[in-house]
Structure 1
Amino acid sequence: MPPSDTRFFTEDWIITLPSRPDVKFIRLTPPVFGERIKILANPLNHPFDSSADKEEWTPIKIEESRQRFIDQYNLSKTKYRALDILVQIGGKTVGQGGVHEIPMVKAGLANIGLSLAESARGKGLGKATMQILLRLSNELEVDIVHAGTMLANKPMRALAAALGFTEREEVLSIPGRGVVAELLFENVDYKKFKDLDMDVEFTGPAPD
């Protein structure tokens, strides 16, 4: 299915939920990519990864990640394969996430990923962010949406179950990133989130 509004890919935007007006979900673009790294590079934000799984964010790795993002970002302006967000409260980034097509795993398959700052957990932000990402999944030209986590991440497992996912043990590796999950969440009816009550403010052409 084509996107309901191509501006999700061609413009910058801010999304809010009526139930959480204090939280802004802003489009991740190249000029603010550093905000994603602040979340990803802090080991406190990944308490369920073993020491062996924690990534070392060297300058080289950061640049590789930035370039992968830019390549995908530019491609998605016309191919509609990925959308990424920052989660902000009071102008401070407290999380990041995205939904990306992963054709190297299976054609028509998209993966949802998110991470929150340690200070942002236990406040319902995980659920709100997942709902936004499931809504945005409907804009991608994909057929199946899944997510994944580590076995020890019980809060994420409970959240996924509440949103309608079923779980299956399987190690998921993505080229260039290695092992990203030990559990897969599948069979979610992401299309039911297409009517999620949210407000979108398009703020102009997406920056390069």
Structure 2
Amino acid sequence: MSYLKLTNYQFDPDGHWDRPLDTTDVPPASDLALFDQNGYDLTGLEQRYARANGTQAHAHREHRHALKAPWFAQPERVEGAVLNHSLLFERKGYSGEALQQLEQWAKINPLIYKIIRIRPKWGLDFSMDYADRDGNVFEVLHWEYDGFDYGEVEARKQQLETRFAAIDWDDAATRILRQKDQWHHLDFFAQSDWKCNYFGIVKERFKMVIWT
């Protein structure tokens, strides 16, 4: 069975924040610490702009925060095909007064150009695991897809929603387990390609560097 339920969350097609922060203080270097060049983790400064623009950044693994929302959900299960995570991600660029503010601050703190040069990005992340009482555990499918073109990523989202919702994940996991000798010895990327081919979906594309 599938057990998956598609949530009502959608991407925001607007890739930029334009509202400035209500301060004249130049952000310190610590506000730019742990900058994520190819993912969705937000610096302290990005989190401040999120709040100023009415967007909530959610905690994402330990100290990390991101613009994320659940994509698919599944009732709690302990065996068979178990959804590890399924998320929609966004990373915002800057425009209008927010961009003007950042450009002024960057004259004093050039690290702020890290924020200024961000290209808006949208991402899909779907991870289905398998566990059984015989001790078999493996990733049935872990598929990630990033892009700077909202329309293209949204089209992939709709395409994969139809595909994932139609899959009997317990049955698929059982079939993949029977073919373990074909993929278990492969490295990370080769396993991903094998499973994308198995499910008839586009190959993964992720870790795209966000700077222009």
Q: What TM-score results when the alignment is normalised by the length of structure 1? A: 0.26
Larger Rg: 2
> Which of the pair has the greater relative contact order for Cα pairs under 8 Å at 6+ separation?
1
Task: Considering fraction of residues, name the structure with more strand.
Answer: 1
